[in-house]
Structure 1
Amino acid sequence: MTILALDELRALIERHASSDAKPIRGMPGLMFGFEHGPTPPCELVVEPVFSLVAQGAKRVEVGKQTFEYRTGQFLIVSVDLPVDAYVVEATPDKPCLGFGIKLRPEAISSLLLESGAPRTFGDDRPGIAISDLSSDLVSSVVRLLSLLDRPSDIPVLAASLEREILWRLINGPQGAIVRQIGLADSRMSQVGRAVRWLREHLAETIRVEELAEIAGMSATSLHRHFRVITSMTPIQYQKQLRLQAARARLRATRVDVAEVGFAVGYDSPSQFSREYRRMYGKPPGQDGAELRTASSTVGVSRHGS
């Protein structure tokens, strides 16, 4: 990767990562990151995405695993994952600059069909990975982002440049992970069906056998593949989803702690408080108050990938 190409990428991100950015017609799924300093952890569920850092460094925590990627590196997420994400390296003079694009299964599947790529799944792989950017990949991203300076070109060229980026990823060091996103019968896709059910039925209780039926595999197989791909068991995954949703509610407004626990699926207020404290280090009431105070003093930061 040339320094010139990375400089051009930085300039494009900095120019277009404004706080008032809106969805771009003809270029859905683009995300920009621009932070002038390190940020506190942000709890979110990351959907399949390709995310790069052109300057600075970011960290993502999934379960008990930590992934850090910095200038000249990219992150691939292949299945919906509840994470803690934050910027760890940024200054006013050298802000953290990032860019991301959602990985759409239908777009990947179309490329696999057209290219005649073999339908091999290989061994189970974690649903998140980090690699170095190649010159070809940076060049493809630069040409895609350059369309933002020429909006009239977007309807004609955007789709083909997105396909080019996907093609570079499919044939890159994390190609095995990316390919599985586009294969409906891959283990990744089967686990993805279970994950989506858990997200859409956050407060509901379900037996692993029932979740396995939704995924289309045996309970034993689901438990094994789910853990490899998400680094969590289905129960741990659901618990993290619930606690993230609870924390978001507590951050947004002053509400009754027990009410929040019931809303995300806890029958026992004491169990909710106990698991919340184990996850975030503080009781939910105290944590919510501190989060609301911090949000009011910091204000709204720029959106990011």
Structure 2
Amino acid sequence: MHTALFELCRRYADTHADRHGVAVTPVPGLTIIRALHPGDLQAAINRPLIAMLLQGRKCVTTGAERFEYGPGEAMVIAADVPTTSQITQASLRHPYYALVLELDVAILRELQSAAPAEQEDGLYVGIEPMNAEVTDAAYRLTRLVEHPQVLAVLGEGLRRELHYWLLHSVHGAAIRALGAADSYSERISRAVAVLRKDFSRTLSVEELAGVAGMSVSVFHQHFRAITTTSPLQFQKQLRLIHARRLMLAEGTSIAQVAWTVGYASVSQFTREYARMYGVPPGRDRRIAREGA
């Protein structure tokens, strides 16, 4: 089944991938990634997802943990977690392919009654083998991406089935916590939504704790446990990730980028950008142009 899923994803990605190697499918939250060579270090704050690796290898670092995975393995991220990642094995002859599904919290909530009752266990990021049920459901869903009429009838049921099997996987307890009303994960996700929306303005910890319905000390404790970082560092990374996209994709000037994402000082922006990406913004842009 892994081979059949790989062939489906390969054909679709080879036809539909954009210049960044992203092939968006008509299934909500389902994307296929293709890379023809090892990549640069990429920073992101992922939404909860499962990334099923079909060919190639990838290294992902979050907090103090480093994960490396390859074909037949899946990375589960069951919270909004800052990561740095790098595709480490890919070539023209053997490209990197991965099938990525963003987890749908609404579906998870609907399925709560069908999942075994367990406490939140804090395993928000991890690697697991692609088990037969998850692989089979992913194959049957992906098979419909080029058949819109069938997808319209069967697609939502297959998305629900895939979420169901993920709830019963190794990381099911953490995934289930995403959909549990008033769980720590759900409360922290409220604060994360505010950070994602308003990252360019100054947000106090007191305001974010209020959104989560927690005291400041409890909020700090659970925010770091779930996202692996502090609220201030989380916001800083959001700003720098957005700044890099503006600068590289749209050609916005460094000063304008710094102001847009919420920095009052270009020098502070430059220092923090270099600390996160390893090079200052001007040099990073030149490297990107030369690579293009």
TM > 0.5 between the two?
yes
2:230 is the alignment partner of 1:233: yes
The one-letter code matched in structure 1 to 2:13 is A
Matches within 5 A, 1:34-183: 34-113=34-113, 115=114, 117-118=116-117, 120-123=118-121, 125-148=122-145, 150-183=147-180
- Structure 2 stretches of 5 or more lacking a match? 18-22
Counterpart code for 2:8: L
The separation in 2 between residues aligned to 1:34 and 1:28, in whole angstroms, is: 19
- For normalisation by structure 2, the TM-score amounts to 0.90
- Give the 3 Å change call, closer, same or farther, for CA 176–191 of structure 1 in structure 2: same
Deviation string, structure 1 residues 167-212 (Cα, Å, up to 9, x no partner): 1111110101110111121111111111111111111112211110
Unaligned 5+ residue runs, structure 1? 298-305
Please give the secondary structure, in 2, of the residue aligned with 1:17: helix
1:185 equivalent among 163, 182, 187: 182
- The RMSD of aligned alpha carbons is 2.1
Deviations 1:210-262 (A, max 9, x none): 11001111111111111111111111111111111122222134444233222
CA displacement, residues 240-288 of structure 1 (integer Å, 9 cap, x when unaligned): 1111112222213444423322221112222222212222222222222
Instruction: Give me the whole-angstrom Cα distance separating, in 1, the residues matched to 2:166 and 2:43.
Output: 27
Instruction: Report the Cα offset of residue 105 of structure 1.
Output: 0.6
State the identity %.
Answer: 34
Tell me, in whole angstroms, the C-alpha distance in 1 between the residues paired with 2:142 and 2:116.
28
TM-score relative to the length of structure 1: 0.86
CA distance in 2, matches of 1:54, 1:116: 28
Taking the aligned partners of 1:64 and 1:262, their CA distance within structure 2 comes to 31
Q: 1:269, 1:116 → 2: CA distance? A: 50
* 1:219–1:254 CA distance, 2 compared to 1 (3 A): same
The 2-side partners of 1:248 and 1:142 are apart by 32
Displacement, 1:94? 2.0
Match of 2:199 in 1: 202
Q: Is the 8 A contact 2:41 2:84 kept in 1?
A: yes
Change in Cα spacing, 1:269 to 1:165, as seen in structure 2 (3 Å) is same
Number of the residue aligned with 1:300: none
Are the counterparts in 2 of residues 126 and 230 from structure 1 also a CA contact under 8 Å?
A: no
Cα distance in 2 for partners of 1:169, 1:87 equals 24
> 1:149: Cα distance to partner?
5.5
The one of 9, 16, 20 aligned to 1:13: 9
SS in 1 for 2:14: coil
Does 1 or 2 have the higher relative contact order (CA < 8 Å, sep 6+)? 1
Structure 2 CA distance for partners of 1:259 and 1:156, relative to 1, 3 Å: closer
Contact in 2 for aligned 1:79/1:188 (Cα 8 Å):
yes
Task: Please say if 1:269 is aligned against 2:283.
Answer: no
> One-letter code of the match for 1:242?
R
Deviation digits for residues 75-121 of structure 1 (CA, Å, limit 9, x no counterpart): 112223343333111222222121011211110110113x2643x43
Amino acid at match of 1:227: R
Aligned to 1:302: none
For residues 229 and 270 of structure 1, the distance between their equivalents in structure 2, rounded to whole angstroms, comes to 31
Structure 2 vs 1, CA of residues 255 and 29 (structure 1 numbering), >3 Å: closer, same or farther?
Answer: closer
Aligned counterpart for 2:289 among listed residues 283, 287, 292: 292
Distance 1:117 1:279, change over 3 A: same
Query: Retained in 1: the 8 A contact 2:50–2:77?
Result: yes
